[in-house]
Amino acid sequence: MAGANYKQRLRDIDNTGFGPNSSIEGGRLVNPDGSNNLRKRGIPIWERTSIYHTLLRMSRPMFFLAIFLFYTTANFFYATMYLLAGMENLTGVDSGRGWFNNFMEAFFFSCQTLTTVGYGRVAPTGLLANIIASSESLLGILSFALATGLIYGRFSRPRAYLVFSPNILVSPFRDGKALMLRVATYKNNHLTDVEAQMTLALHVKENDKVVTKFYPLPLDISKINSLALSWTIVHKIDEDSPLFHYTRALVAETKMEVIVNIKAFDDHFSNIVQQRTSYSWTQVIYGAKFLPMFERAESGAYTILALDKINEHILVPMPEEV
């Protein structure tokens, strides 16, 4: 029976989407934000990059910076076009005050045309200036429609809004030890039917070649009804675990990565959301346990969840060290 259990815990899986050849991998498989740690090449960048997905997934400051840069670049381009067409084709402009003044007049006229504001002080005359202004007006209508759609898409896109503990702990658990991490929601959304999956990636040597083996890590509780407070996800390290012989001395030597995936139902969006992260061996703390991150309010009327304490822990002796 013990031999059968040993074989069972060493039975790896190959449906993770990652290859087994460690010698050609670079660093970790999954970044802490859940994205795959890879770069694609072999086809032109405009074919392998989705601008729509990039704009939806980039951070909020970068998104608005991208909009600002597009707006400024477009106005610089059209201001230059108006200068090349001749300032005499823009009525209402005092063109005798130098090139800088001419450029700024053309630039701000471009801003008014692109946004279809049109204050009326400056107006195009002649065929060429009107063609430039017409094309800019069309660009303005299309670009602002796209920007509005992107802002709505970012605002309405269902997200899990989960925060994970920066470290994963090996803690005492039921007269043994367990691998533990903590997760909580940081927005005022409500997640129900929350499921967790944990996969271990181990770099092992086989036939004088380093390969990556993937093992599913059974969880003590893999599904909860509601994620109202924090949730400590626990994998018990018993004789059926691939980490059974994992000791404090092997922390720095074992090249491991733990990939965590959370799937839940958001009852505000009535949609399924998911988020994942990963922990490398440098983020493992052996011999520690999490401290409580919620407490009762002084009035006793509600519970306080301190998100800044999600990684708060203390060092403790392990069972084999006592």
Q: What is the dihedral of CA 113, 115, 120, 124, to 10 degrees?
A: 10
Give the residue from 126, 156, 186 where a domain finishes: 156
| Residue 85 CA neighbour count, 13 Å, CB half | 21
Q: Whole-prediction pTM value?
A: 0.76
Phi, psi of 103 (to 5 degrees): -65, -40
Last residue of a domain, one of 116, 134, 156: 156
Same domain, yes or no, for 134 and 168? no
Residues 86, 205 share a domain: no
- 170 with 290, same domain: the answer is yes
pLDDT in tens, 25-72: 566 778 887 777 777 777 887 777 788 888 888 888 999 999 999 999
Whether residue 186 sits in one domain with residue 89: no
Mark whether 92 and 31 lie in a shared domain. no
Q: Are residues 209 and 146 in the same domain?
A: no
**Domain co-membership, 190 together with 291:** yes
Q: What is the pLDDT of residues 245-277, one digit of tens each?
A: 888 777 767 778 899 999 999 988 889 999 999
Which H or E run includes 160?
A: none
Residue 42 included in any domain:
no
The answer on 297 and 202 residing in a single domain is yes
Assigned domain for 289 exists: yes
Kindly report the number of other CB atoms within 10 A of residue 319's CB atom: 11
Domain that holds residue 130: 47-156
Q: What is the mean pLDDT of residues 213-228?
A: 91
Question: 60 lies in a domain?
Answer: yes
**What CATH number has the domain bearing residue 52?**
1.10.287.70
Predicted confidence (pLDDT) at residue 8 exceeds the cutoff of 60: no
Regarding whether 268 and 186 lie in a shared domain, the answer is yes
- Whichever domain contains 250, its CATH number is 2.60.40.1400
Same domain, 188 and 290: yes
Judged against a pLDDT cut of 60, whether residue 10 lies above it is answered with no
Confirm whether 77 is domain-assigned.
yes
Tokens of 87: 């300032």
Q: Hey, what long-range contacts does 143-150 have (CB within 8 A, 24 or more apart)?
A: 143/70, 143/74, 143/114, 144/115, 147/67, 150/52, 150/55, 150/56, 150/63
Dihedral angle sign, alpha carbons of residues 124, 125, 126, 127: positive
Domain boundary among the residues 129, 156, 183 is at 156
What is the tally of structural domains in the chain? 2
Query: Across the strands, what pairs with 163?
Result: 184
Q: From CA 95, how far away is CA 100, in angstroms rounded?
A: 10
Question: What SS3 class is residue 111?
Answer: helix
Q: Are residues 52 and 174 in the same domain?
A: no
Distance CA 178, CA 183 (A): 16
Q: E strands, 150-255, where?
A: 162-164, 168-173, 176-185, 191-206, 209-216, 223-226, 231-236
> Would the CA dihedral through 132, 137, 142, 148 be positive or negative?
positive
% the chain with pLDDT above 90: 46
